[in-house]
Copies of this chain bind each other. A is one copy, B any other.
Amino acid sequence: MEVNRKMTASKEEEKTVSHRDEMEKEQLINRLKRIEGQVRGIQKMIESDRYCVDILVQISAINAALKKVSLNMLGRHTNHCVSDAIKNGNGEEAIAELMEVFERFSKS
């Protein structure tokens, strides 16, 4: 099972995973850096009084990009954490959690 728990400085419990390799992490972080840049771009559009519809189209693009990251991550999560749980006989809980995330994602 790939999910570990560690204690952070703040004594809060943080779950970690070990299935993301360096290349995958780099790709995800690069995608998020691009999204961060897009969010900064919206700030500049507002500063320069750009037309509402042009800004709204850009925000939709950011949402779509974030959803792509989420779907990618959902797929990997199911392939690793959920699959492992199922193989280890703890599938039910992992699937219930997956469905909750699905529902939240589909409404956001």
Contacts from A to B (Cβ < 8 Å)? 3, 14-18, 20, 25, 28-29, 32-33, 35-36, 39-40, 42-43, 46-57, 59-64, 66-67, 69-71, 73-81, 83, 86-87, 91-92, 95-99, 101-108
Contacts and interface: CB of A to CB of B under 8 A. Distances in A.
B105 A76 contact: no
A71 B59 CA distance: 11
B43 A33 contact: yes
What is the total number of copies of this protein in its complex? 4
A29 B43 contact: yes
A29 B47 CA distance: 8
Contacts of A47: 25, 29
Contacts of A96: 75
